Structure 1
Amino acid sequence: MIFAIEEINNSTQLLPGIKLGYQIYDSCASVTVAVHVAFQLTNGQDPEFHTGDNCSRSGMVMGVVAESGSTPSISISRILSSFNIPQVSHFATCACLSNKQQYPTFFRTIPSDQFQALALAKLVKHFGWTWIGAVRSDSDYGNNGMASFLEAARREGICVEYSEAFYRNDPQSKIKKVADVIRRSTAKVVVTFAAGGDMKVLLEELAWDPPPPRQWIGSESWVTDPNFLRFSFCAGAIGFGIQQSVIPGLSSFLMDLPPSEVAASPLLTEFWEDAFNCTLGKSAATDLKVCKGTEDIKMLQSLYIKTSQFRITNMVYKAVYAMAHAIHNAVCQQTDITTKCNKHTTLESRQVFNELKKVNFSQNGYPVSFDANGDPPALYELINWQRNESGVIEIVTVGFYDASLPIGQEFRINRNLTWMDGGTQVPASVCTDRCPPGTRKVLQKGKPVCCYDCTPCPDGEISNVTDSPDCFPCPREFWPNAEKNACFPKPVEFLSFEEVLSIILAAFSVGGACLAIITAAVFFRHRTTPIVRANNSELSFLLLFSLTLCFLCSLTFIGAPSDWSCMLRHTTFGITFVLCISCVLGKTIVVLMAFKATLPGNNMIKWFGPVQQRMTVVFFTFIQVLICIIWLVVSPPFPVKNLTTYREKIILECALGSAIGFWAVLGYIGLLAVFCFVLAVLARKLPDNFNEAKLITFSMLIFCAVWITFIPAYVSSPGKFTVAVEIFAILASSFGLILCIFAPKCFIILFHPEKNTKKHLMNKN
């Protein structure tokens, strides 16, 4: 401060012709002493006599550069603001001092802790730490700073395992308790918002029994202090610090300290005696040697001569210049050539206060200005404690934080960091390991939100990000992969020709059609034989033709359903089976009529000749055709994607359209089959060997049994197996008909031709 004032007093640009005076008080870091000094300042100074002007007047305080602590600054500001005396602090960072209603005349050249708290929260979030410990000074600085940090951390999703407060004057048991909490904690990151004096007490306690490796995150009050580098267990600490600066001329000013000036100042005397371990006095009460007066300050190995890393010192420098610029703007006017200042004006502290709000200048390459809250722009260096090649811990600037930049761009890290225990990998500090994609977070009861269990997503749902709070269902036609972190199209399932089941069914279908054709060929080859002629060869050939169609129609059920295949498979099946049953029914009626005709006076056979037989088949078949036409016109079958039977796949199948139409087709077939079965049962005991009624009875019995069991199997079979059941029923009933009706006849024709005679057929025994 003295250097800055002398520099201003020697300047021809700033306050030319006007000298600034000053008076220095030591508050001893005590609120009581600071308040006492504040009252002294407001009461005015002793009269000063100016011999050149033959006048005298009392010195008035235009402004105060103070205090380094937040709590003393709060006390001083409440007194000074009552007299409109501006106060500029170089190190009081409590966010509470930005409240202009309570502290209207307070300014500072160091950023508010509000900015540092936000920066620390973003720093913790940047490195992925969600489980931390918090330690603070039990003072305005620590309590307000930590409160701002915890609020910002909560918004960033960071959880706090513990939050401890202490003060340097607390009992040793209280300090030890805080140290034990740090030692026992599971959080590997410790965020400290503590004043240097408080932090020194805590670290000295921890040094007795160093805790497991911890990643220390420090506020600027201690993380940039070289005196703390001796605590080696804090190696790798990171935090924010005020920008370094080099103040030209300060080094030579400090080095040019003659003993005469030292002896005239109690403050410098104390410094000199401490630095050289001697005494300037001649009192015998001390054991120290008397200073010789030849001590060379340039030979000192202390922070006093190291002027390359000034941080807070620069804040004092800027505070003095801010005050000088405010006075300059109040009493000086700029002309085209020179600056003229009114030396005789009566300057009030209120004027300096008003001008201080508007100062905006650059000093030594650093801008100086204040916002509406009296705060400067927030710009920090990112600090890291790193060991050099010789193993000595050094304070290294590894990046910057500028609060004026857009969100997400405030950080700029330009060097590698080292972490706790000298590691190069970012340490992890989480309550629970991150939940991978495919799982979701489930909070643990009674614990912070950062403590959770990772639960796999339920079926049909996914999560594709880490630490997802919820799982999301896939679209209707999609299904999760095995990891449940992505949705893929569901596989489409239908009874395709490539499947083994389809190949087997198709083989039986083609085989049955070939069997019907071979049977027809045998009957055609022996069409003149009695057994063929006696069994109504015309209806037999028509029946074999319809059975061939029945076998082949099952092929329409295989393959991907389409509009045409869905309509074709059901209608073809219904019509061909009715044609088949109609032929069997005709043959059954012929048998009954033939035996009725043998009775005396009965000529019913003439009413059921070949024409009537054909008309019967056409009539019964036409009814089924009419039912199918109405079904197709009103509500035909159509292909549909079944998404309900299986959640993980799509069944491509034919919807019935009108269920009434489908069951009407089946019901009509069943009605004819039952009617035919009843007639066959009535005719089964008629004599003679050419009686087909027994064979028809067995065939209809098999037919009805197959289709009765088909109904529950069809309803309960899922997916493509529904189609397989339908094909099986068609093939089973078709094979039942052809084997029961035609196999015995073919056996006689081919292997027992001696029985294929009219005499044998007419034999009633």
Structure 2
Amino acid sequence: MDGDYIIGGAFFIHYNTQALEHNYTTMPEPLRCTGRIHSRELRFSRAMIFAIEEINNSSKLLPGIRLGYQIHDSCSAVPMAVKVAFQLTNGLDHVFYTGDNCSQSGMVMAVVGDSGSTSSISMSRITGSFTIPQVSHFATCACLSNKQQYPNFFRTIPSDQFQAIALAKLVKQFGWTWIGAVRSDSDYGNNGMASFLKAAYKEGICVEYSESFYRTHPRSRIQRVADVIRRSTAMVVVAFASFGEMTLLMEELSREPSPPRQWIGSEGWVTDPDMLRFTLCVGAIGFGIPRSVIPGLRDFLLDLSPTEVVASQILTEFWEDAFNCSLGKSAVTDKRLCDGSEDIKKLQSPYTDTSQLRITNMVYKAVYAVAHAIHNAVCQETNSTTQCDKLSRIESKQVLTQLKKVNFSQNGYHVSFDANGDPVATYELVNWQKGKSGSLEFVTVGYYDASLPDGQEFHIYKDMTWMEERTQVPVSVCSDSCPPGTHKVLQKGKPICCYDCIPCAEGEISNTTDSTDCFLCPKEFWPNADRDTCFPKPVEFLSFSEVLGIILALFSVCGACLAVIITAVFFHHRTSPIVRANNSELSFLLLFSLTLCFLCSLTFIGAPSEWSCMLRHTAFGITFVLCISCVLGKTIVVLMAFKATLPGSNIMKWFGPLQQRLTVVSFTLIQVLICTVWLVVSPPFPMKNLTTYKDRIILECALGSALGFWAVLGYIGLLAVFCFVLAVLARKLPDNFNEAKFITFSMLIFCAVWITFIPAYVSSPGKFTVAVEIFAILKLEASSFGPILCIFAPKCFIILFKPEMNTKKHLMGKSKN
């Protein structure tokens, strides 16, 4: 249609071109589009005409100026798109103008189209050379945002850069980390998939395979892609392809039963009504351009008079294909003649379906954007009125300049372009669901708005249907998630989504799903059985409440009570001959020291404290030295007593009661001095033992100065050896109550216990060190107390039950019995 200013248009009304054979002897035939008409694209072209007629009838936009149009079928082929671009630049005139304005003679002011990225790129290379602005309604390749290469390109549909990010977030939203990928082998598919894979990698998504194909490829190539999909383990397939490629792929997959797959689609095919015939895609989801309403468009599409149809070759072809009849001369022998009963209002076709106006609205907005740019170039506002000069000749570069500035709303749809010629990215999340009639239909279940803050762009507000009409989200992972307590170890030679779940090492936990590593618990904490939480380590010490502590405490108390009972008996009969004859003073002191030794072991039971640590070792050392000093004193007394019976010996005057006391006190004071130095220099202190056992804390007393500890033990051992040597020398002295035999036996056991105690003490861990120490104390006590008990027990028996034996005559051995 002619007009004051012409707008060009390019659409994929057909999807194939006629194959030509060149013999290079005659001029090649012109390119022609063939195949079946794509009704949806026909609707796009008619929507452009509708928008232009609406603008021509407007009193606000371009008043008094009439827009015309040239609309071409680029048939989704680059050669045809290039031809269309040249026709739009030069016009259809066969006359060559030689004047100054020859290049402007047939040039359009702007171009709306094309419907694909590859063809739009080809057209932009040509139209850009003449600064003719191009506004596409369906070319989404992110590459077209490059203003250095495509300075004249604009679009009303969002760039694939936004869609790729949205698709990656969609896949991540449902926990799919193992997917397949197919794409059109074109600028749209290759660039879109590259952007998606980059975004998917950032989201931790792995791709099992990535296949490309094009509708002009041989069938064997498409069969190979279908076989890859059938054999794959990924349940989810992301398809970044156009309608033409997806139709061929679905037809191939439909020939042989294919395992169910969850299809994720780009807007290039996921909202195309012609795709709904493939039921194997039930449950498919993807992003589509938001639905819209264009008042009056449906009536315009259905208002096709027979005259108008016959006058247009495209409309004639559409009519004959839709109603399977022929119009006049174009009749085909196997078709009936159209008799006028055909009613387009009853036709079920993508052409007449205006319930899902998505891309159609992009065409509508593109036409209005061009009209506003022309309006701003030729019209002026004067006193609230608009004056337009239709006689002024403007150049396309003026329209290009004004197109960058357009900012308006039409029917509630905002139109503006950023510095890259792109609009704000908003998408609807579309789900293929079966309706009540059993046929597939598009259902909007959510939306994506790239202008919202990070993390808030994505929103789902309806239930979704998945593959095979399932209600549960399908699972598509290479490896199942690693539960807390394990960590991921990558499988050799496979993507990062393929891994084994390895339990955390001892002392380590992981408290998140799919953890890449485990981390150590703090020093005083230890993992639970599942190794997903750190708990405080149990604290252990020899307590009065446990069985071992109770047994040791009872044994200590019983020993101390026995010593006290013997002391009480001896004290009550202290004047009797049997008590007086056995050095009663040393005997009482020995019984007192034994009582302290037994009670001393109680300091080793209970939680260590600063005072108990200092007390337990020093009290142990001092009381034991006191005990051995008493035994040593009694041994010396026995030796001296029998030496004194030799003629001329007065040795007993040098070892009387005073000397005996001094001996015991002197030996004991030496130990007191050693303990005092130990406590002053580096005393024992309570500590938490974290090294002996990894899973528990042992409360124990650190020695402080090891030299002090071993000095205390060494001194006790030295006295024991000295006492043992003296006891051996006195073991055969005659007497009814010769204690030297028992002292020898006592010291022999004493030394044996000491020899076994030291390595056992050093090697026993934790609270068992304390137990070994107490057992050693009790053994040491028993080693001394046993023989003494052999001395005291008979004496107690005589005192209590055989008083007639408690006489001086009996002690002197003069009794007959």
**TM bracket (short chain):** over 0.9
Contact 2:686-2:701 within 8 A present in 1 as well: yes
Contact 1:29-1:72 within 8 A present in 2 as well: yes
Q: Which residue does 2:587 correspond to in 1?
A: 540
**Following TM superposition, by how much is the alpha carbon of 1:753 offset from its aligned partner in structure 2, in angstroms?**
5.5
Aligned-partner residue type, residue 580 of structure 2: R
Contact 1:330-1:355 within 8 A present in 2 as well: yes
Q: Within the alignment, does 1:239 sit opposite 2:286 as a pair?
A: yes
Aligned-partner residue type, residue 269 of structure 1: T
SS of residue in 2 equivalent to 1:305: coil
**Following TM superposition, by how much is the alpha carbon of 1:230 offset from its aligned partner in structure 2, in angstroms?**
1.6
Q: Within the alignment, does 1:493 sit opposite 2:540 as a pair?
A: yes
Q: How does 1:129-528 map to 2 (within 5 A)?
A: 129-282=176-329, 286-293=333-340, 295-528=342-575
Measure the CA separation in 1 of the matches of 2:738 and 2:784.
16
Q: Which residue does 2:163 correspond to in 1?
A: 116
Measure the CA separation in 2 of the matches of 1:431 and 1:243.
34
Q: Which residue does 1:14 correspond to in 2?
A: 61
Aligned-partner residue type, residue 575 of structure 2: T
Measure the CA separation in 1 of the matches of 2:322 and 2:609.
100
Residue 685 of structure 1: which of 732, 736, 739 is its match? Answer: 732
Measure the CA separation in 2 of the matches of 1:294 and 1:259.
11
**4+ residue runs of structure 1 moved beyond 4 angstroms?**
751-757
Aligned-partner residue type, residue 527 of structure 2: P
SS of residue in 2 equivalent to 1:220: coil
**Following TM superposition, by how much is the alpha carbon of 1:283 offset from its aligned partner in structure 2, in angstroms?**
5.6
Measure the CA separation in 1 of the matches of 2:438 and 2:50.
36
SS of residue in 2 equivalent to 1:380: strand
In structure 1, runs of 5+ residues without a counterpart are 49-56
Q: Within the alignment, does 1:98 sit opposite 2:145 as a pair?
A: yes
TM-score, normalised on structure 2?
0.90
Measure the CA separation in 1 of the matches of 2:229 and 2:355.
35
Residue 694 of structure 1: which of 741, 758, 761 is its match? Answer: 741
Measure the CA separation in 1 of the matches of 2:389 and 2:478.
66
Measure the CA separation in 2 of the matches of 1:243 and 1:210.
34
Residue 613 of structure 1: which of 648, 657, 660 is its match? Answer: 660
Q: Which residue does 2:600 correspond to in 1?
A: 553
Q: Within the alignment, does 1:565 sit opposite 2:602 as a pair?
A: no
Residue 35 of structure 1: which of 82, 87, 94 is its match? Answer: 82
Measure the CA separation in 2 of the matches of 1:206 and 1:224.
20
SS of residue in 2 equivalent to 1:24: strand
Aligned-partner residue type, residue 390 of structure 1: S
SS of residue in 1 equivalent to 2:269: helix
**Following TM superposition, by how much is the alpha carbon of 1:749 offset from its aligned partner in structure 2, in angstroms?**
4.3
**Following TM superposition, by how much is the alpha carbon of 1:764 offset from its aligned partner in structure 2, in angstroms?**
11
Contact 1:217-1:238 within 8 A present in 2 as well: yes
Q: Within the alignment, does 1:659 sit opposite 2:706 as a pair?
A: yes
SS of residue in 1 equivalent to 2:209: strand
Q: Which residue does 2:8 correspond to in 1?
A: none
Measure the CA separation in 2 of the matches of 1:359 and 1:367.
10
Counting matched residue pairs gives 757
SS of residue in 1 equivalent to 2:71: coil
Q: Which residue does 2:751 correspond to in 1?
A: 704
**Following TM superposition, by how much is the alpha carbon of 1:26 offset from its aligned partner in structure 2, in angstroms?**
1.1
Measure the CA separation in 1 of the matches of 2:187 and 2:278.
26
Decide whether aligned partners of structure 1 residues 83 and 58 sit closer, same or farther in structure 2, where only a CA change above 3 A counts: closer
**Following TM superposition, by how much is the alpha carbon of 1:615 offset from its aligned partner in structure 2, in angstroms?**
1.0
Aligned-partner residue type, residue 348 of structure 1: E
**Following TM superposition, by how much is the alpha carbon of 1:126 offset from its aligned partner in structure 2, in angstroms?**
0.3
Decide whether aligned partners of structure 1 residues 346 and 547 sit closer, same or farther in structure 2, where only a CA change above 3 A counts: same
Post-superposition Cα deviations, 1:446-503, rounded to whole Å, max 9, x if no partner, equal 1111011111111111111100001111111111111111111111000010111111
Measure the CA separation in 1 of the matches of 2:760 and 2:309.
111
Aligned-partner residue type, residue 57 of structure 2: N
Contact 2:566-2:792 within 8 A present in 1 as well: no
Measure the CA separation in 2 of the matches of 1:43 and 1:745.
136
**Following TM superposition, by how much is the alpha carbon of 1:635 offset from its aligned partner in structure 2, in angstroms?**
1.1
Measure the CA separation in 1 of the matches of 2:783 and 2:369.
111
Measure the CA separation in 2 of the matches of 1:421 and 1:39.
48
SS of residue in 2 equivalent to 1:675: helix
Post-superposition Cα deviations, 1:645-702, rounded to whole Å, max 9, x if no partner, equal 1110100111111111111111111111111111111111222223221111111111
Q: Which residue does 1:51 correspond to in 2?
A: none
**Following TM superposition, by how much is the alpha carbon of 1:757 offset from its aligned partner in structure 2, in angstroms?**
4.3
Q: How does 1:45-64 map to 2 (within 5 A)?
A: 46=93, 58-64=105-111
Contact 1:15-1:328 within 8 A present in 2 as well: yes
Q: Which residue does 2:623 correspond to in 1?
A: 576
RMSD: 1.7
Post-superposition Cα deviations, 1:384-411, rounded to whole Å, max 9, x if no partner, equal 0111233222110001001111111111
Contact 2:566-2:796 within 8 A present in 1 as well: no
**Following TM superposition, by how much is the alpha carbon of 1:111 offset from its aligned partner in structure 2, in angstroms?**
0.8
Q: Which has the higher mean CA deviation after the structures are superposed, 656-665 or 293-302?
A: 293-302
Aligned-partner residue type, residue 219 of structure 1: S
**Following TM superposition, by how much is the alpha carbon of 1:346 offset from its aligned partner in structure 2, in angstroms?**
2.2
Contact 2:85-2:127 within 8 A present in 1 as well: yes
**Following TM superposition, by how much is the alpha carbon of 1:368 offset from its aligned partner in structure 2, in angstroms?**
0.8
Contact 1:689-1:764 within 8 A present in 2 as well: no
Contact 1:690-1:762 within 8 A present in 2 as well: no
SS of residue in 2 equivalent to 1:236: coil
Contact 2:178-2:497 within 8 A present in 1 as well: yes
SS of residue in 2 equivalent to 1:221: coil
Q: Which residue does 1:52 correspond to in 2?
A: none
Decide whether aligned partners of structure 1 residues 289 and 212 sit closer, same or farther in structure 2, where only a CA change above 3 A counts: same
- Identical aligned residues as a percent: 77
Contact 2:742-2:790 within 8 A present in 1 as well: no
Aligned-partner residue type, residue 239 of structure 1: G
Contact 1:133-1:187 within 8 A present in 2 as well: yes
**Following TM superposition, by how much is the alpha carbon of 1:272 offset from its aligned partner in structure 2, in angstroms?**
2.0
**Following TM superposition, by how much is the alpha carbon of 1:94 offset from its aligned partner in structure 2, in angstroms?**
1.0
**Following TM superposition, by how much is the alpha carbon of 1:342 offset from its aligned partner in structure 2, in angstroms?**
2.2
In structure 2, runs of 5+ residues without a counterpart are 1-47, 96-103
Q: Which has the higher mean CA deviation after the structures are superposed, 622-631 or 746-755?
A: 746-755
Post-superposition Cα deviations, 1:82-139, rounded to whole Å, max 9, x if no partner, equal 1111101111111111111111111111111111111100000000000011111111
SS of residue in 1 equivalent to 2:500: strand
Q: Which has the higher mean CA deviation after the structures are superposed, 556-565 or 296-305?
A: 296-305
Post-superposition Cα deviations, 1:313-343, rounded to whole Å, max 9, x if no partner, equal 1111111011111111111112332111122
Contact 1:179-1:202 within 8 A present in 2 as well: yes
Contact 1:437-1:463 within 8 A present in 2 as well: yes
**Following TM superposition, by how much is the alpha carbon of 1:47 offset from its aligned partner in structure 2, in angstroms?**
9.7
Decide whether aligned partners of structure 1 residues 47 and 162 sit closer, same or farther in structure 2, where only a CA change above 3 A counts: closer
Contact 1:461-1:474 within 8 A present in 2 as well: yes
